[in-house]
Structure 1
């Protein structure tokens, strides 16, 4: 009997109530030799790893803050950059053993939190102005290179997350340094356009990872990208009397584009974010243009029916065109 025949037999027996869940579990544990409660014990170990890492991190922070004025320049570098490098190395060593790989992740997170502080203190001791976007760009470039090199060397998803974060921060600092006073936009609009571009790049990046070893990261990139892209586009529309007509007219096309892409990509993330922002857009337009003519109570009634329609359409599209297990 092959695997498919066995599973079919299990489904048939379960449907006829001739096989209980407990009997199936007993057979599994008897055959695999796995001890009951192992998974729960491992989950408890994960929680303890996290708690231990948080306590160690807080202890280091408190120790440094309490004695900061007593430290000389060299000591300040050692107590900030030193633990970061040590945590990174320990994380690499633990990650080599599958049994302790999760503990390695905890140390890598600690290293990623401490590394910017250590590098920043080193630059500060060297006499550089940390408030300068140029200096911040250099620091973030170094951090990005460290974690990109780690990603290509060790092929760990956690390094992909760190590299994405630091390169995104590098994008903001570099654009501020190069274009901050030459854009012709207000600082608010400049920030919104940068978020728009970053969100779009996340969407492309997520799509590029869809068929690779890091495809589990795709839904997160889709989610953050959709949140940033549509959020920035909605914000660029502004509000009366200083609204931007172009973005107000373009936004519904962007939203429906996301909903159509959700069918093509079979992605619930695109569908839900598209629907969510469509609801937000309807509320925004109603409050801007129709409350004076229809009256606020009647406008709320109409918006309520429209939102119910959007909710039903979202459910229908999700059930008909997107599989339940889709990202």
Structure 2
């Protein structure tokens, strides 16, 4: 019966496509427009009705053709110019990199500095010229990245050549990051570009992390402090023209902060508690973004990673204890949270957690008993029930 119904629907759709539209056109009075003569007749009727002359048609036709041609020429010109610019930059960098790798050992100290730091400053001059002229906006990002890479490596090369026997990498990194932060910060305050703000923040936070590490501050406290700072910076960027950086800043800040939190909790308690508490914190962070209707990708990622950490930490805590079934109760309450929060990511981890615990529990307590076949049947029914419940939950989401 279902197959017959599907066949009838297909026939109706095909028939409507073949005969329905011509019939509808005939009812609307445009069935005669089926060939060139009919089209000309219909155009004549429109011209008479709206008092359109052949000169009007000719003018409108040429204007439309000219506008389309200019747009095509501009788009093709922009694409070609951008393509050749990228290809030129790639070949220049490939040539410089190949030359440096081939003759690095035979170069002197001055030549090494010139081939790295000198090239970096040449690229920086080109970047400043492009920023000042404002004629090549698509070249700003690749020029920023290449100049930053060459300048950073060049400053490290200069320090190594000046102090070949030095082994204090923290001091070298601190100096290089300080110089690069000043570079990029000055360029940002002058030209106000998002790429320059990103590089300024990158080197500034790198300088802070290395500096605090040299002062003897534990790395976990550095992560907590700087992660919270990056999170606040990301929140502040939402209301600025540089809100493109807000989402990655919030992601980096959350990960950085919770990594330090995980380390401290692990030190004072255990890895299980650290995983559980950190996972719950990540879920709460995602919940805050969810309530404010911001960044759905970060919300889904937070629910996914946070729930995985929370479920794994909770399972390790209750395993082989008298409260093992508490895990199943928590996972079951997670299904209710999925409906309230309308999160497919949380639904996925919750269903996996429930099914995994059922498999573990049945193998542990019923695998060697005569009731194992019955357990398998009950487990299958449980799987079907959870699967049906998950489908209903997904439909409501």
- Give TM-score scaled by structure 1 length: 0.70
- Structure 1 unaligned runs (5+)? 1-26, 184-189, 319-327
Which whole-Å deviations, capped at 9, do the CAs of 1:136-170 have from their partners, x for residues lacking one? 21121111111111111111111111111111221
Match of 1:86 in 2: 122
Matched, 1:134 2:149: no
Equivalences for residues 26-105 of structure 1 within 5 A = 35-36=71-72, 42=78, 46=82, 49-50=85-86, 52-105=88-141
**Whose radius of gyration is greater, 1 or 2?**
2
Matched, 1:279 2:307: yes
1:81 Cα shift?
Answer: 0.6
What is the Cα deviation at residue 299 of structure 1? 9.1
Q: Is the 8 A contact 2:224 2:257 kept in 1?
A: yes
Residue 244 (structure 2) aligns with: 216
Q: What is the match of residue 203 of structure 2?
A: 166
Q: 1:133 to 1:279 in 2, by over 3 A?
A: same
1:191 corresponding residue in structure 2: 219
For these two proteins, the number of residue pairs brought into alignment is 282
Deviation at 1:288, TM superposition (A): 1.2
Q: In the alignment, does 2:257 pair up with 1:229?
A: yes
Please point out which of 342, 349, 353 is paired with 1:315. Answer: 342
- Residues 9-50 of structure 1: CA distance to partner in whole angstroms, max 9, x if unpaired? xxxxxxxxxxxxxxxxxx999878752485577567656644
Of structures 1 and 2, the one scoring higher in RCO (CA 8 A, sep 6+) is 1
Shift in alpha-carbon separation, 1:70–1:158, aligned structure 2, 3 A: same
Q: Is the 8 A contact 2:272 2:316 kept in 1?
A: no
Paired residue for 1:118? Answer: 154
**Structure 2: which 5+ residue stretches go unaligned?**
1-62, 346-397
> How far apart are the structure 1 equivalents of 2:303 and 2:73?
42
> Matched residues in 1 for 2:138 and 2:255: separation?
29
How far residue 201 of structure 1 moved from its aligned partner, in angstroms, is: 1.0
Q: Give a deviation string over 1:46-102, Cα, whole Å, max 9, x none.
A: 566445434433332221121112111111111111110011111221233444221
Give the match for residue 234 of structure 2.
206
> Is the 1:120–1:139 contact (alpha carbons within 8 Å) kept by the matching residues of 2?
yes
CA distance in 2 between partners of 1:155 and 1:29 (Å): 40
Query: CA, structure 1 residues 108+267, in 2 after alignment: closer, same or farther (shift >3 Å)?
Result: closer
1:153 aligned onto 2:190: yes
TM-score, normalised by the number of residues in structure 2: 0.59
Encode CA deviations 1:149-205: one digit per residue, 9 max, x unaligned: 1111111111111111111221221122111xxx5xxxxxx3343223222111111
Counterpart Cα distance in 2 of 1:86 and 1:158: 19
Say whether the 8 Å CA contact 1:136–1:173 is kept in structure 2.
yes
Q: Is the 8 A contact 1:192 1:236 kept in 2?
A: yes
Corresponding residue of 1:242? 270
Relative to 1, partners in 2 of residues 1:69 and 1:316: Cα closer, same or farther, differing over 3 Å? closer
State how far apart, in whole Å, the 1-side matches of 2:86 and 2:266 are: 42
In structure 2, relative to structure 1, the CA distance for the partners of 1:130 and 1:33 (3 Å cut) is farther
Note if contact 1:236-1:244 (Cα within 8 Å) is conserved in structure 2. Answer: no
After superposition, the C-alpha distances for 1:240-288 in whole angstroms (9 at most, x for unaligned) are: 9834858855762564254135424744355334313431232222331
Larger CA deviation: 47-56 vs 163-172: 47-56
